[in-house]
């Protein structure tokens, strides 16, 4: 079905996922937290999108909103649309949503240890996830589970499938989770800090695995992380979030060579990277805003290097520049690298 | 929602005026507790019961022991709120005085059990090793004693020598130390894993300071919850004993004994069983609700946000 | 000149927890004595290094390599199984608690999880003032408060936050609170156990800069435990790479980055994420996963996973640290291995002057 639509539309394919003005609020004892505050973006097939932000920026909440897994109460999605292949997920009844989770949209969480049930064999858990959505025998599902474990490069999968999660190492557990998320071959995979708890050598392997699985099968990936360096090797589009909003939406090349939003610039400067010498690393001053009491105007203005009077009063709107590049800053033109002359807009 | 927020503001305001720092753990726990209506009502009910017990002589309209055979088995009326018993004594007055006995048993036996349980749990969890082994064996040994039958036996042996009230209180207390000890130990083991304990050692805190300043306050909530449930359990045990006629001796009014005495008049004077039964029920229920409310209040996960 | 801290052949073995019956089964008689063979995890196995005053040494490795245990054994938060630790020339490994106390004050520790390293019931002022109080350094409440406020300013916290509670602070601020708390004792040496690993990337540079500034202001020496080589390169003078309880390579930061010798060091470097989109790098993949050093046999512990060749000697002889160049040692039987690390151009720090 979606393939037909793409052909009809010609060269501009319909995005797989379109998020429009989603607002997810938490109503707490201490006030309202606008965790996701009017976020819009789209994800095309074959695209690998990174959502970057500090803790509390709303990046995980955006992912959870797409899956409609916001704990309620206290959280609630109060506005917006999430269109997946032409269907607004926010309007679906819960039973139909369940069909979308897992089958159409897979998810990998950060805590590998908690995502697997300790009392069932790893193979059983993957097979069960398959059987929920497929009409097949237990044996077929088990076969599928073993095949998935092989796909995520777990050696000796027949035997490993018989084991329990505690018998797996951290990296293997994360692989099993990827197998679990991919068993129904979802078109969209949401990975929420999947490597944060892992060692460097394991992290590199897992990133490679996610990359292979997501690219090979023309699927889309949303990769949520606070680590620009990790995402740099994987993703081709970057959404920079700050205080519940997307402040910059750029391709990887654009972002790393010429960031537009001051937060993105300062984030890149603060990144500790081997290719930088000591004096090339500049810390971002200040702290992330208090979620109960975000600054007026542009939320980033207290930490912004180029802050002006208007930033303290008026919230900047998202402006489209250079095709599909977007930035939300009053003064983004001021930061233009001198070599870039004209900003073309479509 | 708006009313809720208003109410919350009001509660925050009260707490602040009472000098509670809303930022502190205690302040947050209090605030969370106050938001739980059932628990607050239960706490109030229990407070009223204890006040009644303390001020029984001023509250009870009649003498609870002196018989007045002219008023035998009067139904509840404006004169005798809860009716009268076969000896013409005012049931309300007897219940008021009886609350002294029942509630004392609950409170004191819990205190006794905590007096033993807290140090045992704390030491066992903090030091570990062979000390822990010994205390844990003692816990297992004590848990294997059927306390109800132990009391039955002791009452049978010494029931006429020592005051049964104190016998019950102390035996329940001494057998009951295992509950808090076990729970506290578990929590101490969890708190001990936090790096702030290691940090305390690194800066040179003594064992005593680490135990009482750093570990106990962060582990104590489990036994506060346990205390409410334990008190309810002790009250039930005491009333059960009295109901069997092995508890507090008549004519001293105790709720279980009142229930037992009313048993024979169920048909003609149902109030004799209804009122004491209802009070036991309410008290135990209130303690349980209070315990639940406290547990939720202490659990930061239940906080909204 | 004697180094500030010297660690010699440090060893920490943890007996594996076993049940009574299992232990009975392992009992045997030898020369008339009853011996129980308990399985032991060799968490830290024959580790030696020294740190000069004002220097920052990084202890790098993956989880389970024993780097945190090393830090704790040095401070005697864990008792060493064998080996010696010298602080200012004095051996502290066997000092009884009373005599250890003055050394404890000079050697402090900062932890990885700031949310777990502060007592949630103590306000910031109490947390920072606690060392002053328990050690009887400042007994007067008022003076103590004044000192605490000075310390808060030194680490870049607003003294008005004195009576705030830890949960109101972000991870980076909590690490600063910890730093102020530790600094109240005027320590000379601080073990930093992954102090920025749980912080957002955006705050890591900020926090590390504060640590650097404090190092200069207070004349501190750091042992910086980390798994992140990029952070280590930014922050440290020398690097020791650990694998399964042993140091496999040690040298100046520049030496390790420009001329890595040990295959494990090379693998770590090659896996380092680099903030350059589209860069296709050749990651040296390691087979399997980190093992568990239970009753290790002689031989190289990395042999199981070594991407270079594994010869008989690797399985039979434990490699010793050999000099590669001045101040640079590696423990590999094949120091001339031709494993290539593809790193983006590594820009070196201007040699940090130690004040």
The mean pLDDT of chain B is 83
Query: Is residue A342 very low, low, confident or very high in pLDDT (cuts 50, 70, 90)?
Result: very low
Name which of C232, C257, C237 is nearest C355 in CA terms. Answer: C237
pLDDT score of A5 = 43
DSSP labels for A20-47? EEEEEEEEETTEEEEEEEEEEEEE-TT-
Domain that holds residue C56: 5-236
Q: How far is C169 from chain B (nearest CA, A)?
A: 12
Chain B residues in contact with A33 by the CB 8 A cut-off are 305
- Give the residue on A whose Cα is nearest the Cα of B35: A29
* Residue whose structure tokens are 């929920």: A132
Local confidence band at A51 (pLDDT 50, 70, 90 cut-offs): very high
**N residues, chain A:** 346
Residue among C17, C19, C120, C183 with most chain B CBs within 10 A, to mutate: C120
Question: ω before B251 within 30° of 0 (cis)?
Answer: yes
Question: From B7, which residue of chain A is nearest by alpha-carbon distance?
Answer: A29
CA-based nearest distance B302→chain A, Å: 10
Q: Three-state SS for A246?
A: strand
Contact between C121 and B217 using a beta-carbon 8 Å cutoff: yes
Tokens of A207: 């990133």
How many other C-beta atoms lie within 10 A of the C-beta of residue A218? Answer: 10
Residues forming beta bridges with residue A251, ordered by sequence position: A237
Helix, strand, coil share of chain B (percent; to 5):
75, 0, 25
Q: Tell me whether C76 touches chain B (CB under 8 Å).
A: no
ipTM above threshold 0.90: no
CA–CA min distance B1, chain A (Å)? 10
**Largest alpha-carbon pair distance within chain C?**
69
Joined tokens for residue B141: 């040994």
Q: What's phi and psi for B220, nearest 5 deg?
A: -65, -25
Say yes or no to pLDDT of A295 above 50: yes
- Contact present, A252 and A235 (Cβ < 8 Å): yes
* Closest-CA distance of chain A to residue B41, Å: 21
Residue C353: what pLDDT? 41
Enumerate the residues of chain C whose CB falls inside 8 A of the CB of residue A160. Answer: none
User: Could B303 and A29 be called an inter-chain contact, meaning their C-beta atoms sit closer than 8 Å?
Assistant: yes
The gap between the terminal CA atoms of chain A, to the nearest Å, is 29
Point out the residue among B195, B201, B203 whose CB comes nearest to the CB of C130: B203
Q: Are C182 and C217 in contact (CB under 8 A)?
A: no
Nearest to A33 among B32, B303, B305 (CB): B305
Contact C204 A270 (CB under 8 A): yes
Decide if C130 touches B, using CB distance below 8 A.
yes
Q: How many C-alpha atoms does A302 have within 13 Å on its Cβ side?
A: 12
Is position C289 within any domain? no
CA atoms within 13 A on the CB side of B185: 23
Distance from B201 to chain C by nearest Cα, in Å? 8
A25: nearest CA partner in chain B? B305
Nearest CA to CA, how far is A127 from chain C (Å)? Answer: 25
Q: Residues 33-62, chain B: which have Cβ within 8 Å of A?
A: 35
Tokens of A239: 């959404």
Please give, rounded to a whole number of angstroms, the shortest distance from the CA of B287 to a CA of chain C: 27
Residue B201, both tokens: 């050692």
pLDDT category at A1 given cuts 50, 70, 90 is very low
C131 vs B: CB within 8 A: yes
Lowest mean pLDDT among A107-116, A290-299, B136-145: A107-116
What is the total count of domains within chain C? Answer: 1
Tell me: pLDDT of A70 over 90: no
Percent helix, strand and coil across chain C, each rounded to 5? 35, 25, 45
A255 or C287, greater pLDDT? A255
- Phi, psi at A196, each rounded to 5°: -60, -35
What does the angle CA C68 – CA C73 – CA C77 come to, to the nearest 5 degrees?
Answer: 95
Q: Do A203 and C281 touch (CB under 8 A)?
A: no
> How many whole angstroms separate alpha carbon A180 and alpha carbon A124?
10
pLDDT in tens, B174-211: 888 888 999 999 999 999 989 999 999 999 899 999 99
Q: What is the reported pLDDT for C196?
A: 87
> Mutate which of B7, B31, B299, B304 to disrupt the A interface (most A C-beta within 10 Å)?
B304
Q: Say which DSSP state B214 is in.
A: I
DSSP 8-state code for residue C349:
P
In a domain, C32, yes or no: yes
Tell me how many helices (H) and strands (E) chain A has. Answer: 12, 12
Query: Residue A74: its chain B contacts at CB < 8 A?
Result: 304-305
Q: How far off is chain C from B205, nearest CA to CA, in Å?
A: 6
- SS3 percent helix, strand, coil of chain A, rounded to 5, is 40, 20, 40
Residue C79 has pLDDT above 80, yes or no: yes
Token pair of A216, please? 């090979």
Q: Is the pLDDT of residue A344 over 60?
A: no
pLDDT digits (tens, 9 = 90+) for B208-226: 999 999 999 888 888 888 8
Q: Which residues of A touch B (CB under 8 A)?
A: 26-30, 33, 73-74
User: CA of B28: which chain A residue's CA is closest?
Assistant: A29
* Ranges of each domain in chain A: 1-104+186-288, 117-182
Reported confidence tier of residue A158, pLDDT bands at 50, 70, 90 = confident
- Using an 8 Å CB-CB cutoff, list chain C residues near B204: 101, 104-105, 131, 134-135
Residues of chain B neighbouring A28 (CB-CB closer than 8 A):
303-305
For B305, nearest residue in chain A (alpha carbons):
A28
C181 CB within 8 Å of a chain B CB: yes
Is B217 touching C (CB cutoff 8 A)?
yes
The fraction of chain B above a pLDDT of 90, given in percent, is 23
Q: Tokens representing A77?
A: 């999605």
- The token duo for B186 is 């578990």
Kindly indicate the confidence band of residue B1, based on its pLDDT and cuts at 50, 70 and 90: very low
Residues of chain A in contact with residue C273, where contact means CB-CB under 8 angstroms, are: 200, 203-204, 207, 227, 229-230, 232-233
What is residue B16's predicted lDDT score, i.e. its pLDDT?
73
The single residue listed with the structure tokens 């996973």 is C305
Q: Which chain C residues are within 8 Å of A199, Cβ to Cβ?
A: 62-63, 227, 290
> What is residue C261's predicted lDDT score, i.e. its pLDDT?
92
B228 Cβ contact list (under 8 Å, min separation 6): B287, B288, B290, B291, B294
Sorted by sequence, the CB contacts under 8 Å of residue C71 that are 6+ apart come out as C59, C109, C191, C193, C223, C225
Task: Give the number of other CB atoms < 10 A from CB of residue A33.
Answer: 24
Confidence band, pLDDT 50/70/90 cuts, at residue A340: very low
Check: CATH 3.40.50.300 for A1-104+186-288? yes
Burial B36-75 (b: 16+ CB within 10 A, else e): beebeebbebbeebbebbeebeeebebebeeeeeebeebe
DSSP H or E stretch at residue B219: helix B216-219
Least confident residue range of A106-115, B113-122, C265-274: A106-115
Is C317 part of any domain? Answer: no
Any chain C CB within 8 A of the CB of B200? yes
Residue with tokens 């090393």: C70
Smallest Cβ–Cβ distance between C104 and the set B23, B196, B202 belongs to B202
* Model confidence band, residue A4 (pLDDT cutoffs 50, 70, 90): very low
Band of pLDDT at residue C132, cut at 50, 70 and 90: very high
Position C330 pLDDT exceeds 90? yes
A274 contacts C272? CB cut-off 8 A: yes
How far, in whole angstroms, is CA A320 from its chain's centroid?
21
Chain B touched by C123 (CB under 8 Å): yes
The answer to whether residue B23 neighbours chain C at the CB level (below 8 Å) is yes
CB-CB under 8 Å, A274 with C229: yes
Answer yes or no: pTM beyond 0.90. Answer: no
Mapped onto helix, strand or coil, the DSSP state of residue A52 is strand
CATH architecture group of domain B90-302: Orthogonal Bundle (1.10)
**Whether C291 contacts C298, CB under 8 Å:** no
CB C155, CB C167: distance < 8 Å: no
Check whether A10 has a pLDDT greater than 50. no
Q: What is the mean pLDDT of residues C48-64?
A: 91
Q: Does residue B288 belong to the interface with chain C, where contact is any CB pair within 8 Å?
A: no
What is d(CA B62, CA B282) in angstroms, rounded to the nearest whole number? 24
Inter-chain contacts counted by CB atoms under 8 A, chains A and C: 147
CATH number, domain containing residue C163: 3.40.50.300
Inter-chain CB proximity C165 and B204 less than 8 Å: no
DSSP character at residue C352: P
**Partner B, chain C 90-109, Cβ-Cβ below 8 Å:** 101, 104-105, 108-109
B contacts of A73 (beta carbons < 8 Å): 304
Q: What pLDDT digit, counting tens, does each position of A165-190 carry?
A: 888 877 788 888 888 888 888 888 89
Element containing residue B106 per DSSP (H, E): helix B91-127
CA atoms of B160 and B169, how far apart (whole Å): 16
Where are chain B's structural domains?
90-302
pLDDT of residue B303: 45
């Amino acid at each position: 079905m979606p393939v037909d639509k793409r052909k009809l539309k010609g060269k501009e394919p319909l995005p797989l996922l379109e998020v429009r003005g989603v607002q997810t609020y938490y109503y707490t004892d201490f006030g309202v937290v606008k965790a996701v505050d009017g976020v819009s973006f789209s994800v095309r097939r074959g695209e690998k999108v990174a959502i970057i932000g500090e803790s509390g920026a709303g990046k995980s909440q955006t992912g959870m909103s797409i899956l409609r897994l916001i704990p309620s109460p206290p959280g609630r999605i109060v506005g917006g649309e999430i269109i997946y292949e032409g269907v607004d997920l926010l309007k679906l009844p819960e039973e139909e949503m369940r069909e979308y989770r897992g089958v159409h949209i897979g998810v990998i969480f950060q805590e590998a240890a908690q995502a697997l049930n300790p009392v069932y064999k790893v193979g059983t858990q993957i097979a069960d996830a398959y059987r929920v959505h497929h009409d097949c025998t237990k044996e077929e599902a088990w076969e599928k589970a073993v095949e998935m474990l092989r796909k995520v490069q777990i050696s000796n999968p027949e035997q490993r499938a018989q084991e329990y999660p505690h018998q797996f190492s951290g990296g293997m557990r994360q692989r099993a989770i990827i197998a679990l998320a991919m068993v129904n071959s979802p078109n969209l995979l949401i990975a929420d800090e999947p490597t944060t708890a892992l060692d460097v050598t394991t992290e590199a392997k897992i990133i490679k695995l996610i990359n292979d699985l997501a690219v090979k099968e023309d699927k889309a990936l949303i990769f949520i992380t606070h680590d620009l360096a990790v995402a740099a090797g994987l993703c081709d589009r970057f959404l920079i979030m700050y205080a519940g909003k997307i402040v910059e939406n750029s391709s990887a090349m654009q972002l790393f060579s010429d960031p537009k939003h001051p937060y993105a610039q300062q984030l890149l400067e603060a990144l500790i990277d081997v290719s930088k010498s000591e004096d090339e690393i500049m810390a971002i001053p200040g702290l992330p805003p208090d979620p109960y009491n975000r600054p007026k105007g542009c939320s980033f203005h207290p930490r912004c290097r180029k802050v002006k009077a208007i930033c303290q009063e008026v919230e900047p709107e998202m402006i489209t520049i250079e095709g599909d590049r977007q930035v939300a800053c009053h003064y983004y033109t001021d930061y233009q690298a001198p070599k870039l002359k004209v900003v073309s807009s479509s | 929602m708006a009313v809720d927020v208003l109410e919350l503001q009001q509660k925050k305001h009260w707490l602040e005026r009472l000098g509670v720092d809303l930022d502190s753990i205690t302040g947050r726990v209090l605030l969370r507790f106050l938001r739980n209506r059932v628990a607050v009502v239960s706490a109030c009910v229990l407070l009223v019961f204890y006040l009644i017990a303390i001020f029984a002589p001023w509250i009870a309209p009649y003498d609870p022991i002196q018989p007045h055979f002219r008023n035998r088995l009067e139904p509840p009326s404006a004169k005798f709120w809860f009716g009268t018993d076969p000896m013409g004594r005012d049931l309300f007055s007897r219940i008021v005085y009886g609350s002294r006995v029942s509630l004392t048993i609950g409170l004191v036996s819990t205190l006794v059990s905590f007096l033993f349980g807290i140090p045992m749990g704390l030491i066992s969890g903090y030091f570990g090793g062979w000390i822990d082994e010994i205390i844990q064996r003692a816990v297992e040994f004590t848990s294997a004693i059927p306390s109800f039958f132990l009391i039955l036996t002791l009452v049978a042996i010494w029931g006429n020598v020592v005051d049964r009230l104190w016998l019950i209180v102390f035996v329940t207390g001494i057998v009951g130390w295992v509950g808090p000890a076990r729970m506290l130990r578990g929590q101490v083991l969890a708190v001990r894993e936090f790096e702030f304990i290691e940090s305390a050692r690194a800066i040179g805190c003594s064992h005593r300071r680490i135990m009482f300043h750093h570990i106990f306050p962060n582990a104590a909530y489990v036994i506060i919850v346990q205390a409410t449930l334990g008190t309810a359990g002790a009250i039930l045990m005491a009333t059960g004993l009295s109901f069997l006629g092995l508890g507090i001796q008549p004519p001293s009014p105790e709720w279980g004994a009142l229930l037992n005495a009313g048993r024979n008049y169920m048909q003609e004077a149902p109030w004799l069983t209804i009122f004491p039964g209802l009070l036991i029920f309410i008290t135990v229920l209130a303690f349980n609700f209070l315990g639940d409310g406290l547990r939720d209040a202490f659990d930061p996960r239940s906080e909204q946000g | 000149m004697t180094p500030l801290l010297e660690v010699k052949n440090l060893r920490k073995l943890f007996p594996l927890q076993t049940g009574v019956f299992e232990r009975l089964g392992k009992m045997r008689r030898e020369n008339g004595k009853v011996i129980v063979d308990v399985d032991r995890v060799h968490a830290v196995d024959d580790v030696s290094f020294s740190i000069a005053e004002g220097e920052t040494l990084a202890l790098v490795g993956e989880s389970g390599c024993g780097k945190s245990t090393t830090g704790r054994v040095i401070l005697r938060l864990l008792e060493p199984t064998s080996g010696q630790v010298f602080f200012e020339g004095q051996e502290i490994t066997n000092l009884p608690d009373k005599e250890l106390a003055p050394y404890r004050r000079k050697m402090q520790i900062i932890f990885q999880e700031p949310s777990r390293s502060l007592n949630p019931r103590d306000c910031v002022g109490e947390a920072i003032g606690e060392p002053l109080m328990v050690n009887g350094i400042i007994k007067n409440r008022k003076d103590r408060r004044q000192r605490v406020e000075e310390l808060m300013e030194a680490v870049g916290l607003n003294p008005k936050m004195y009576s705030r509670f830890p949960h109101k602070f972000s991870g980076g601020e909590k690490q600063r609170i910890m730093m102020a708390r530790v600094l109240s004792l005027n320590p000379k040496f601080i073990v930093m156990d992954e102090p920025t690993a749980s912080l957002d990337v955006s705050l890591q540079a900020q926090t590390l800069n504060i640590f650097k500034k404090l190092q200069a202001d207070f004349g501190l020496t750091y042992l910086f435990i980390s798994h992140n080589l990029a952070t280590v390169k930014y922050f440290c003078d020398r690097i020791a790479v650990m694998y399964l309880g042993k140091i496999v390579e040690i040298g100046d930061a520049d030496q390790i980055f420009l001329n890595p010798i040990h295959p494990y060091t090379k693998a770590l470097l090659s896996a380092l994420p680099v903030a350059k989109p589209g860069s296709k790098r050749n990651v040296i993949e390691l087979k399997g996963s980190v093992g568990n050093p239970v009753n290790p046999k002689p031989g190289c512990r990395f042999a199981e996973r070594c991407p270079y060749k594994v010869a008989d000697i690797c399985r039979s002889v434990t490699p010793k640290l050999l000099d590669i160049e001045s101040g640079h040692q590696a423990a590999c039987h094949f120091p001339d291995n031709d494993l290539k690390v593809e790193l983006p151009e590594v820009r070196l720090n201007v040699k940090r002057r130690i004040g």
